[in-house]
Structure 1
Amino acid sequence: MSAIKIGYLLVRTLAKPVANSIKTQAKSHPNFKAFCIGVAQRSHRLEMTLKMKFLGYKTEKIRPLNDARAIESGANFLSEAFVFSVAASVILAENWRSRVTAKNRRNYVDDALESLEEKNQSLTELLEETRQMNQTNEDRLKQIENDNMQLRGLLDEVLSVSMGLKRHTEYQQQPTMIQL
């Protein structure tokens, strides 16, 4: 992240010599010189018209700038516009990068939450299945205990009738029940 910011700072720093190059090119190339003069004259007219309106003066005919001053003004305007556009593009690029980073972070968090919710749902289902199996096992154990008691009673009846022995329940202690 800091490398990106250093890169942005480097681009902004390199924009200043490019702006100075624009100023020198405006004086030497005829087509660029004419373009700078046109930009400067329009800028001068706009500036003077706005000044007159804001200060409350009558709108008068605006005299154009001389060529030397127009070239200098136009070159300054273009170089400043270049530096401004570089700075604005750096700011926009940083804003875009931070939005992408935040979006990726949100997507990661959303995916992690979705994964946790699915895991929680599966664990809840597993817990419910375990409870049902436990309840089924407890019901089976109670049924086996009841069957055991009936068989013991039946055995006691058979032994007492056939041999005249004491009842089984009279000489043995009842088994202890284990609670799960």
Structure 2
Amino acid sequence: MMLPLVKLGSLAFRTLSKPIAARLKHNAGIHPKFRGFIIGIAQANHRFTTNMQRRLYGRATDIHIRPLNEERAIQAAADLLGELFVFSVAGAAIIYEVQRSARSEARKEEVRKQEMEAIKKREEQLAIEVQLMKQKISEMERKYSKWTLLPGFRGFGTAQAAAQPAGTQQPTAA
């Protein structure tokens, strides 16, 4: 029951992050200090991606890269911020799911260990009880081996406990 609710909440959180990212993109170009900051980020990102593309296509990378105009830089930075926000929310949701699953597995493993310990303790107790019973049986055999309950009966629990009187034979399986 808990797992579907957590997954549904995670999905809702990721879905709600998209309008927040859109709002962040809209407000990014309005504030002057933030605007200057994101223009620098957009220009650095533009230089990096252009150099990567030129390397990928085998072209020279030591050339001057023309900077983006201010509006394109703001739009590129706002898009980058929006995508980064959505990606961060999705990544945080995945990390949360993995940690929750790991905690759940750790709890299950701890329960299994406790059950195994209980089984081992019970096995040890039973082994001790069996040993005590064997000792008691041995004591009883020694104590009562001298008693004769029936003629021809020699002892308690011995192999010859049911010795046959002389002259009789035990039936054999053919």
* TM category, shorter: 0.7 to 0.9
Name the residue aligned to 1:70.
73
Q: CA deviation at 1:30?
A: 1.0
Instruction: Pick the structure with greater CA Rg.
Output: 1
Secondary structure of the residue aligned to 1:74 is: helix
2:103 is the alignment partner of 1:90: no
Q: Give the secondary structure class of the aligned counterpart of 2:97.
A: helix
Q: Give me the TM-score of the superposition, normalised by structure 1.
A: 0.80
Q: Equivalent residue for 1:8?
A: 10
Q: How many residues in Structure 1 have an aligned counterpart in Structure 2?
A: 153
C-alpha distance in 1, partners of 2:47/2:57? Answer: 15
Q: What are the equivalent positions in structure 2 for 1:93-104 lying under 5 Å apart?
A: 93-104=96-107
SS at match of 1:96: helix
Of the candidates 125, 128, 134, which is equivalent to residue 128 of structure 2?
A: 125
Structure 1 residues 18-45: Cα deviation after superposition (integer angstroms, max 9, x where no partner): 1001111112111121122111101000
RMSD: 1.7
- Indicate the percent of aligned positions where both proteins have the same amino acid: 32
Q: Distance in 1 between matches of 2:86 and 2:122?
A: 54
TM-score w.r.t. the length of structure 2 is 0.82
1:31 pairs with 2:70? no
Unpaired runs of 5+ residues, structure 2, are 158-174
Give the 4+ runs in structure 1 shifted more than 2 A: 174-180
Find the aligned partners of 1:19 and 1:57 in 2 and give their Cα distance: 35
Alpha-carbon contact 1:25-1:32 (below 8 Å) kept: no
List alignment gaps of at least 5 residues for structure 1: 149-173
- What SS does the aligned partner of 1:28 have? coil
The CA deviation at 1:175 is 4.2
